[in-house]
Amino acid sequence: MFPAVYFYRKDRIGRLIGGLTSVEEQRLSIPEMLLLLAAGAGFAQYANVLVAILQNWISSSYGETMTKITSGKSLFMMIFWMGIIAPVAEEMIFRWLIYLRLRDHFSVLFSAVISAAFFGIYHGNVLQAVYAFVLGGIFAWFLEMGGNKWTSVLMHIGANTWILIFSEYAQTLVEKAGAGSLLMIYGVFAAAMIGGYQYFARRGEKRGYRAV
C-alpha cells in the first residue's frame, strides 16, 4: 500500500501544478460516510443478485471459491482483512492510481469502464469479474462525484463487510424472522443506493470541477 500512496501523492502534486484538480478535496461528514457505507453495501447486495442470475448460465466455481475462502475462519478476522484492509489496498491501486491516471486524459465514463475492467480481470473467476466490474465502475463514479479519495474506499468497505456479515447470518435471519426480513433489507439498501446516487450526483454538479 505504501508505494501506492507515494505514487498517488506524486500524481496529486502533478495535477495541482497542471490545474487538473482543486487545491483541497471536499470533506466528508459523518452522515455522508455512513451513507457511503450503506450505499456500498446495497450495491454489493444487488450485484450479488446479478451474479446469482448469471450463475444459472455460466459454469463457475464462484460459490465453491467463496466457501473455501470463508470456511472455518473467524468473522472478525475476515472483516478486518477482507472487509477493511483489502478494500483500502484495492482502492489505492484501481481507483487512486489507475482510474485517476486515466481521468487525467479521458472522460469519467471511459476511465471508469477501463479501470473497472482491470478490477474485474484482477478477480479472475468469471462471475467474480462481473461482480467486480460492476462495483468498480460504481466506485469510480462516486469517487469522481464525491470529490474525496476516501469516497470509494468507504463504499468498498461497506460492500465487502456487508457481504461477509450477510453470508454468515442470512440463513439464521430467515429462520428467525422470515423471508420478509430479506425484503426489508433489500428495500433499505435500495433507498440507500438511490439516495446516495442522487446526493453525490448533486454534490458533483454543484461543485462543477474536479476535486480528486
Confidence (pLDDT) at 95: 98
Q: Is residue 94 part of a domain?
A: yes
Q: Does residue 61 sit within a domain? A: no
- Residue 180: CB atoms within 10 A of its CB come to 9
Q: How many domains does the chain have?
A: 1
In a domain, 187, yes or no: yes
Residue 156 has pLDDT above 90, yes or no: yes
**Grid cell listed for 95:** 481507483
Task: Give the C-alpha separation, 95 to 11, whole Å.
Answer: 13
- Tell me if 70 is assigned to some domain: no
Q: Let me know if residue 37 belongs to a domain.
A: no
In this prediction the pTM is 0.92
Q: What is the pLDDT of residue 69?
A: 63
Higher pLDDT, 170 or 139: 139
Q: Which residue has the cell 463457475?
A: 60
Q: Check residue 56 and give its pLDDT.
A: 78
Each residue's pLDDT tens digit, 30-73: 999 999 999 999 999 999 999 988 887 776 555 566 666 666 67
Residue 151's pLDDT is 98
What percent of the chain is predicted at pLDDT more than 90? 76
